[in-house]
Amino acid sequence: MRITSTARWRIFGVVLVLPGLIWAVIRLFGLERGWLVQLMAFTPYAAAAAVAPAVIALVGRRWLIATVGAVAALVLAGCVLPRAIPDRDRGPATGFGLTVMTINMYVGQADPSAIVGLVREDDVSILAVQEFTAPARDGFAAAGLGKLLPYNALADDPAHGTTGSGLYSRFPMSGPGAERGKGGNLQAYATIQPPQARALAVESAHPLAPYAESALPLWRADLAAEPVPESPGPLRVLLGDFNSTLDHAPVRALIRRGYRDAADAVGAGLVPTWGTHVPPITLDHVLVDKRIGVREVSVHRVAGSDHRAVIATLTVPMS
C-alpha cells in the first residue's frame, strides 16, 4: 500500500504539533500528574520549541497543521512571556524600603563568606536560608553575619542536612520558631519589625521536592499548607526554595491566595535560579503579600550551591 504525500503530511503534522498542543492543554488547565510534574518545570523551553512546528507547517502550506501549532505556541507563550514583562501594579510605591534575600545552601555547602558578602553589598535586611546546617551556622558567625543581621530564628537538623532552615534579620524578631512540613523540611519563621513600618510575618519556605511520584502528595500538601495573607492580619513574606516554578498549578494556587511573585512583578520571572545538570529553571521565589510593593529583583550565583540567591527590594507600608 502506497502512502500519498498528503497522508504523509498529515502523519508528520500530527507528530509535529501534538506534543506542543498536549503540553499547552496540561499547562493551561493545571493537569500535571505523575512524571509530568517534573516535566512541567521546563515549560519556558517548550514554549520556545513550540514555534518551530507552526513555522514548518506554514512553510509547507499545511494550513490546518500550522493553525493548530500556532494555537499551541500562543497558549504557551501566554503562560510564559508575561513573566518577562514588568507588571503595572507592583503594590505600594511609597513606604519603608526593605531588601530581602533567599538562598538554598545545598546541604550547607554554600560559601558563607559569599553569602555574607551579598548581604553587605546589597544592604540586605532579612536573609532566609534553606538546607541550613550547624557548620553553615558556624560559618556565618565566623564571616560576621551576626554584626549585620543580629536577630535570628534557626533550625538546623543534625539528622537530615537537607531539612534545616533559618532566618536572619537586622530588625527585632518576635515569636521565632520553626515548623516541619509533611515532606519533612523545616521552615523557620518569625515576626520582624522594621522601624516605623508595619510588622512582617516572614517564613523561610522549603516544600518537599517532587523528586518521585511517591513524593507528589507531600509536595502538594506542603505547598497547600504555606501560610497566606489575611486581612486585617499581619503582612506576610514567603521566601525560599519552593521546588516549583510558576508553571506548577499548586504554586499558582498559593499565589492567588494573596501573594505576588516579586520576580514576576518586575519582569525577571524567567531568570533561572537552579540547574547545573539540566536546563536551568526558576525554583526559588520571593512571594510578598499584595499589600507590599516590589521595587527590584536580582539573582546571584553563590559558590558551593546549586541554587542562586534571589534578592528583592520591597516597599513595606508605614505603621
pLDDT, tens only, 255-274: 999 999 999 999 999 999 99
For residue 93, pLDDT over 80 is answered with yes
CB atoms within 10 A of CB 59: 9
Mean pLDDT, the chain, integer: 94
Alpha carbons 1 and 310: distance in angstroms, whole number? 60
How confident is the model over 14-44, as pLDDT tens digits? 677 889 999 999 999 999 999 999 999 999 9
Q: Show the cell assigned to 150.
A: 543580629
**C-alpha to C-alpha distances, 132 to 129, 181, 223, 233, nearest whole angstrom:** 6, 15, 20, 29
Q: Show the cell assigned to 115.
A: 553569602
Number of H helices, E strands in the chain: 11, 12
Cis peptide before 158 (omega within 30 of 0): no
For 74, how many CA atoms within 13 A lie in the half-sphere containing its CB? 6
Length of the chain: 319
Which CATH number describes the domain made up of 96-316?
3.60.10.10
pTM score, whole prediction = 0.94
Alpha carbons 300 and 289: distance in angstroms, whole number? 23
Contact between residue 219 and residue 183 where contact means Cβ atoms under 8 Å apart:
yes
Contact between residue 185 and residue 163 where contact means Cβ atoms under 8 Å apart:
yes
**pLDDT at residue number 59:** 80
- The residue written with cell numbers 512582617 in the block is 200
Listed by start position, the domains of the chain span: 5-84, 96-316
Q: What angle do CA 293, 299, 304 make, to 5 degrees?
A: 140
How confident is the model over 135-173, as pLDDT tens digits? 999 999 999 999 999 999 999 877 777 899 999 999 999
- Phi/psi region, residue 226 (left: phi>0; alpha: psi -120 to 50; beta: rest), is beta
**pLDDT at residue number 53:** 84
How confident is the model over 105-141, as pLDDT tens digits? 999 999 999 999 999 999 999 999 999 999 999 999 9
Give 295's pLDDT tier (boundaries 50, 70, 90). Answer: very high
Give 276's pLDDT tier (boundaries 50, 70, 90). Answer: confident
How confident is the model over 43-87, as pLDDT tens digits? 999 999 999 888 888 887 777 888 889 999 999 999 999 999 999
**pLDDT at residue number 6:** 61
Give, for 250, the enclosing helix (H) or strand (E). Answer: helix 249-256
Give 313's pLDDT tier (boundaries 50, 70, 90). Answer: very high
- Phi/psi region, residue 78 (left: phi>0; alpha: psi -120 to 50; beta: rest), is alpha
pLDDT > 70: what percent of the chain? 96
Alpha carbons 268 and 261: distance in angstroms, whole number? 10
Q: Tell me the sheet residues that pair with 201.
A: 191, 236
**pLDDT at residue number 5:** 58
